[in-house]
Structure 1
Amino acid sequence: MTLSLDDIAWHRSVGQLIDALDKPNFWTQLVRLLDQYVSFDSWVALLFSADQRPQVFAECPGEDGSPDQLFQDYLRGLYLLDPFYIACREQSRTGLYRLSEVAPEHFELTEYYQRYFRLNVVADEIQFNCQLEGDRTLCLSLGSTQRFSGQQIALLSLIQPWVLGLLRQRLPYEINEVVALAPAPPQADWRVQLEESVQQLKGAQLTARELDVGRLMLSGCSSKEIARKLEISVETVKVHKKHMYSKLGIKSQSELFSIFLQAQNA
């Protein structure tokens, strides 16, 4: 078997990344290598954990070098509506995943998509997921202003074993080793936090099931998808929605999303 110059260049680059596993510029070096093969416009490396806010290990710098306010909103609570986060929590998996594989049926109609995703990620997203012990997932997410082509996805699928292996080997070298190597102390359930905030903001007492229905609605799930996920009937979903809207004094998902944002920032 004869190696091409491209093969040699790839293996040489992977060798350099192995040498850089304990270096501060590891993530930058990795995404620069990937960008040579597939173009993308944004990236972030983060850790999803059960009952914990995502921990960011590295992210692409903003145009002026300042923190991205939209991404800060994501870390405060919008991540609960992220299709990739939801997919990780519902079924932990290792591999390469496209937005189209995890996004709910009505994702592009949601306020989350209109007010966050299309502004921060723009058009498409793919994510390398590395499942870890303790119900955690190490992720490298790539965002693009254009849809990733089938050819690009095929190429990323071909190299994913190298990328996932590098992600696993990098984890022990992250600065916060307590979080990286062992499960962090659990925070309060997000439902409890959100319910307390909603009660303070609107004086409303929502049930756990109403909160579940509301979050799934905001993430883009249709009534059928919500019914399937919660193992209830579509009619029951509609009843929960009606009660929730009545308690909050609202008439639209746009208003519900605004309350959700206020609650996360409260």
Structure 2
Amino acid sequence: MSHLSPSWLPALSEAVAAIHTPAFPRALLAFINTSLAFDCALVLGYSRSHKPIYLYDSLTEQRQVLFEHYLHQSYREDPFYQAVQSGMAPGVYLLSELFPRFFTKSDYYRGFYQNTGWHDEVGIISRVNDEVTVVFSLGRLGKHAAPGQEELATLRQLEPLLQNLCLQHWGKLSGELSSAPPDQDNVKARIDLAFDSLGDMLLTRREREILRLVLLGHRSREIGERLGIGEGTVKNHRKRAYAKLNLNSQADLFLMFLNHLITLDNGRQA
């Protein structure tokens, strides 16, 4: 494993010590970084019955694309998501090994890769239980060339160890609720911010207002009376909002809101 940096052993020790703590994803990525250089990372849990669940990120550009678009809609076009759904075996993969030739012309490529600035990606697929597969997406920006064969060979040698660490930490992970970024304080303020920003890249102000009242337990007639509009108009706004967010029911809306609240970026409160 000649491509490991001298810091690999302390980094591994920190990752092991962080198992079952919120610090684990960051610590494990620091260990991975001793064998493979990357600029930013995204860690998600994929399952067959739920939308992706957020576990960790260190995105540096257009981070809102992840929370307001990818996690609710465009994830279906992600080659790594598609690979997991098709039964791809756990392991280390290059994005170029998965996507078709026309991928760079797709809406997903333009909407995620070009917005985040990623030029290349290495993915680590880790099956942690019968329901959930954890995927590490390691992005490279312009300053890093494509991963070298020696880097990939080293990472693939480490892959059984990485799989075991992921199993220890995420073995009981369900496919429903996301993990929170650190330092989440002031619950009331965060809930208000989550209501105000729910779907803010996709919904109109009126649609967001109506979904807030739905989440607070109000029926269409009550919402119409509050807002001074007809019940039918409320239902039409609600239907359009559900379509934009790819929701089928009020239960889907509630789960989406919980995940939005949990993963809300603290920086947006400034």
- In the alignment, the residues of structure 1 paired with residue 128 and residue 20 of structure 2 have an alpha-carbon distance, to the nearest angstrom, of 19
| Of 50, 53, 61, the match for 2:51 | 53
Provide the secondary structure at the position in 1 that maps to 2:81: helix
1:129 alignment partner in structure 2: 125
8 A contact 1:40–1:143 mirrored in 2: yes
1:225 alignment partner in structure 2: none
RMSD of Structure 2 on Structure 1 (CA):
2.8
Cα separation, partners in 2 of 1:8 and 1:95, compared to 1, 3 Å: same
The AA in structure 2 aligned to 1:70 is: V
- In the alignment, the residues of structure 2 paired with residue 61 and residue 112 of structure 1 have an alpha-carbon distance, to the nearest angstrom, of 17
Cα separation, partners in 2 of 1:45 and 1:98, compared to 1, 3 Å: same
- In the alignment, structure 1 segments of 5+ residues that lack a partner are 186-261
| Of 69, 75, 78, the match for 1:82 | 78
Is 1:108 equivalent to 2:107 in the alignment? no
- In the alignment, the residues of structure 2 paired with residue 162 and residue 8 of structure 1 have an alpha-carbon distance, to the nearest angstrom, of 18
8 A contact 1:45–1:56 mirrored in 2: yes
- In the alignment, structure 2 segments of 5+ residues that lack a partner are 178-241, 247-270
Shift of 1:41: 1.2
8 A contact 1:76–1:264 mirrored in 2: no
What whole-Å deviation, never above 9, does each CA across 1:207-228 have from its counterpart, x for those lacking one? xxxxxxxxxxxxxxxxxxxxxx
- In the alignment, the residues of structure 2 paired with residue 81 and residue 158 of structure 1 have an alpha-carbon distance, to the nearest angstrom, of 29
After TM superposition, list the pairs within 5 Å mapping 1:35-50 onto structure 2: 35-50=33-48
- In the alignment, the residues of structure 1 paired with residue 6 and residue 63 of structure 2 have an alpha-carbon distance, to the nearest angstrom, of 37
Structure ranking higher in helix proportion: 1
Shift of 1:139: 1.4
| Of 93, 99, 106, the match for 2:95 | 99
Cα separation, partners in 2 of 1:76 and 1:86, compared to 1, 3 Å: same
Provide the secondary structure at the position in 1 that maps to 2:151: helix
Cα separation, partners in 2 of 1:263 and 1:98, compared to 1, 3 Å: farther
- In the alignment, the residues of structure 2 paired with residue 154 and residue 93 of structure 1 have an alpha-carbon distance, to the nearest angstrom, of 17
State the TM-score, normalizing by the size of structure 2: 0.58
8 A contact 1:124–1:147 mirrored in 2: yes
8 A contact 2:43–2:135 mirrored in 1: yes
Is 1:265 equivalent to 2:264 in the alignment? no
Cα separation, partners in 2 of 1:24 and 1:154, compared to 1, 3 Å: same
Provide the secondary structure at the position in 2 that maps to 1:53: coil
- In the alignment, the residues of structure 1 paired with residue 123 and residue 244 of structure 2 have an alpha-carbon distance, to the nearest angstrom, of 25
2:29 alignment partner in structure 1: 31
The AA in structure 2 aligned to 1:23 is: T
Shift of 1:16: 2.9
Is 1:142 equivalent to 2:142 in the alignment? no
- In the alignment, the residues of structure 1 paired with residue 33 and residue 5 of structure 2 have an alpha-carbon distance, to the nearest angstrom, of 16
Cα separation, partners in 2 of 1:264 and 1:83, compared to 1, 3 Å: farther
Cα separation, partners in 2 of 1:151 and 1:264, compared to 1, 3 Å: farther
State the TM-score, normalizing by the size of structure 1: 0.58
Cα separation, partners in 2 of 1:75 and 1:121, compared to 1, 3 Å: farther
1:21 alignment partner in structure 2: 19
8 A contact 1:92–1:137 mirrored in 2: no
Shift of 1:169: 0.9
Provide the secondary structure at the position in 2 that maps to 1:115: helix
The AA in structure 2 aligned to 1:151 is: E
8 A contact 1:92–1:131 mirrored in 2: no
- In the alignment, the residues of structure 1 paired with residue 89 and residue 244 of structure 2 have an alpha-carbon distance, to the nearest angstrom, of 28
What whole-Å deviation, never above 9, does each CA across 1:110-152 have from its counterpart, x for those lacking one? 1211232232252111111112433421112211124222222
2:65 alignment partner in structure 1: 70
Shift of 1:13: 3.2
